Amino acid sequence: MAFGKRSAGPATAKPAAVKPAAPAAPKPPVAKPIAQAPKAAAPTEPKEKPKPAALKPPPAVQEEKVTQVTDRSEEYYATKTTIFNALIDTIDLGQLAQLDQESAREEIRDIVVEIIAIKNVVMSISEQEHLLDDICNDVLGYGPLEPLLARDDIADIMVNGADTCYIEVDGKIERTNIRFRDNAQLMNICQRIVSQVGRRVDDASPICDARLLDGSRVNVIAPPLSIDGPALTIRKFKKDKLKLQDLVNFKSISEAGAEILRIIGHSRCNVLISGGTGSGKTTLLNCLTGFIEPSERVITCEDSAELQLQQPHVVRLETRPPNIEGSGEISMRDLVKNCLRMRPERIIVGEVRGPEAFDLLQAMNTGHDGSMGTLHANSPREALSRVESMITMGGFSLPAKTIREMIVGSVDVVVQASRLRDGSRRIMCVTEVMGLEGDTIVLQDILKYEIEGEGDDGKIVGRHRGTGIGRPKFWDRAQYYNLERDLATALDELE
């Protein structure tokens, strides 16, 4: 009987090779005659043709490439379900819960081996080992997620119901063949994850944020809100956080650009890091915190503690969502306000999303130089106008001009991060906030990333360029910290 690896694997394995050839065909023959046909020759006919020539056929719905994360086959899943059900009938889950992980695993393995023998299932030693691991993971761990969680090269795991699971590797999203027995199992695993941080996800509270024990950030949204089964999103925690030098190696920023960021960090500029989802904002913030002096008292405020500061004097704070009765919430604003009473030297806000923007600006303005935060925006200008609208929507009835004056008086630099279409992450610009001219905030780019084209491998080619600024506004600051020479050299080195 075919079992496990011997059967060729799920049907989904093949489509990778299938490339629809048809849509490309019509283009060349249509294009040529038009180019050659002189306008005067036949006034009626050629007129109709230009349109189809210019239009590329829309990409046909391609079969999705599926990354084989495990080599389990349909038969394997069927056998596993049979054995799993037999196990659940046999085992006393209450007693199992009393045991430590190791003993519980031993217990489960013993019973499963027995069931395999009784049911007369034919399988090789290695297949049996797979099955034992999988069943132990199902009962005690995070089930089919385990092989994904064990990998450090995955940035995100996205489960859209029991049968669909995507991962992000090297900036690219790919579909995997990981799947759950059914939505009930997926829900069960979601429940297990969130219960570890004392939360619940169910009909009454179908949205839940949580954290895995290793620090990975988790979001669950359950039916009926997510229509096709529970949606689970995990931002994997990278044990070895990227350093600024790594970003240079990845060409996310040039050497000289990195040096400018170092000077910005050292000379205690107030920095906002702006970017889209998953563009590398938190990573960049983490890099910038590397330049904080060990003697400084730093307070970090986050929704889910992701930052890893290396300094000894750090207080880490985390928000708390409301409990099931809807009370007990501690918002980001509560944290930032409280921070100010904790004698911070620098305040780091993981993500500025609401009225805490006001408190952060005030902190930046009142002697907590070198504070930093990230926010979602597509350009430095948009970032500042988002700050403005966060403050307005937070119910502060201040005139727009006052808010802008506040922004100009507190934010020194905005760093823009982006995830480009080839999956790479780049620092798109480092921009200074110069001042207010009338009602408009004046910005000045110090460096910019210019896209030059696309290489043969589909990777975007470009370079970081200086904008010819000889003396940025934070020059005086750099001078105060004895860094003006370094700054001058770095500015010279920008192309």
Ligand X SMILES: Nc1ncnc2c1ncn2[C@@H]1O[C@H](COP(=O)(O)OP(=O)(O)OP(=O)(O)O)[C@@H](O)[C@H]1O
From the list 262, 244, 263, 350, the residue with the least C-alpha distance to 299 is 350
Q: Taking the complex as a whole, how short is the minimal distance between the CB of residue 17 and Mg ion, in angstroms?
A: 37
| Least distance (Å) between residue 320 CB and ligand X | 19
What's the rounded Cα separation, in Å, for the pair 320 and 210? 10
Task: Kindly write out the interface string for residues 269-308 of this chain, putting x where it contacts Mg ion by CB under 5 A and - elsewhere.
Answer: -------------x--------------------------
Residue 30, both tokens: 């249509």
- Percent helix / strand / coil, the chain, rounded to 5: 40, 20, 40
Q: Out of 270, 279, 371, 418, point to the residue binding ligand X (CB under 6 A).
A: 279
Of ligand X, Mg ion, none, which one does residue 410 interact with (CB within 5 to 8 Å by kind)?
none
Asked if residue 199 binds ligand X (CB under 6 A), the reply is no
Q: Which is nearer to ligand X, 250 or 481 (CB)?
A: 250
Strand 231-235 to 217-221 pairing: antiparallel
Task: For residues 174 and 116, give the distance between their C-alpha atoms in angstroms, rounded to a whole number.
Answer: 35
Cα 66–71–75 angle (5° rounding)? 105
User: Is 283 a residue that touches ligand X (CB under 6 A)?
Assistant: yes
Closest CB to Mg ion: residue number: 282
**What does 277 interact with, of Mg ion, ligand X, none (CB < 5 to 8 A by kind)?**
ligand X
Q: What is the per-residue binding string for Mg ion in 399-428, x denoting contact by CB under 5 A?
A: ------------------------------
To the nearest 10 degrees (0 to 180), the angle between helices 332-339 and 356-365 is 20
Tell whether residue 257 is a contact of ligand X (CB under 6 A).
no
* Cβ within 8 Å of residue 91, ≥6 positions away: 107, 108, 111, 139
Residue from 36, 120, 277, 327 binding ligand X (CB under 6 A): 277
DSSP 8-state class, residue 225: T
Residue 376 pairs in a beta bridge with 275
Contact criterion met (CB below 8 Å) for 343 and 365: no
SS3 92: coil
* Shortest reach from residue 282's CB to ligand X, in Å: 3
* Binding partner of residue 280 among ligand X, Mg ion, none, CB cut-off 5 to 8 Å per kind: ligand X
Pick 270 or 282: Cβ nearer Mg ion: 282
- Which of 387, 296, 413, 284 lies closest to 347, judged by CA? 296
Residue 361, number of CB atoms within 10 A of its CB: 24
For the record, the structure tokens of 120 come out as: 């007369």
Q: Which does 242 bind (CB under 5 to 8 A by kind): ligand X, Mg ion, none?
A: ligand X
Q: How far apart are alpha carbons 393 and 118 in whole angstroms?
A: 66
Shortest Cβ 256–ligand X spacing (Å): 17
Q: Which residues within the stretch 54-113 sit at the binding site for ligand X (CB under 6 A)?
A: none
Cβ at position 247, least distance to ligand X in Å: 5
CA distance 26 to 6: 43
Which tokens sit at 166?
């995507």
Query: How far apart (Å, rounded) are the C-alpha atoms in residues 368 and 117?
Result: 68
**Strand order through the sheet with 66-67:** 66-67, 172-176, 165-169, 154-160, 231-235, 217-221, 207-211
Return the residue of 176, 177, 252, 304 that touches ligand X, per CB under 6 A: 252
416 binds ligand X (CB under 6 A): no
* Binding span for ligand X by CB under 6 A among 100-108, 198-206, 281-289, 404-412: 281-289
Instruction: Pick the binder of ligand X from 141, 223, 278, 394 (CB under 6 A).
Output: 278
Instruction: Tell me how far, at minimum, the Cβ of 56 lies from ligand X, in Å.
Output: 31
Strand pairing report for 346-349 and 298-302: parallel
Q: Which stretch binds ligand X (CB under 6 A): 68-76, 127-135, 279-287, 340-348?
A: 279-287
Greatest C-alpha distance within the chain: 90
Q: Which of 27, 109, 238, 316 binds ligand X (CB under 6 A)?
A: 238
Contact partner, 247, from ligand X, Mg ion, none, Cβ < 5-8 Å per class: ligand X
Q: CB of 95: closest distance to ligand X in angstroms?
A: 40
Residue 466 binds which entry of Mg ion, ligand X, none, CB below 5-8 Å type-dependent: none
Site string for ligand X, 423-452 (x = CB under 6 A): --x---------------------------
By residue count, the chain amounts to: 495
Which one of Mg ion, ligand X, none interacts with residue 176, CB within 5 to 8 A by kind? none
Angle between helices 380-393 and 356-365 (to 10 degrees): 110
User: Residue 369: what residue type?
Assistant: D
Which residue shows structure tokens 């031993």?
Answer: 106
- Residues at the contact surface with ligand X, assessed by CB under 6 A: 155, 235, 238, 242, 247, 250, 252, 275, 277-283, 425
Interface ranges with Mg ion (CB under 5 A)? 282
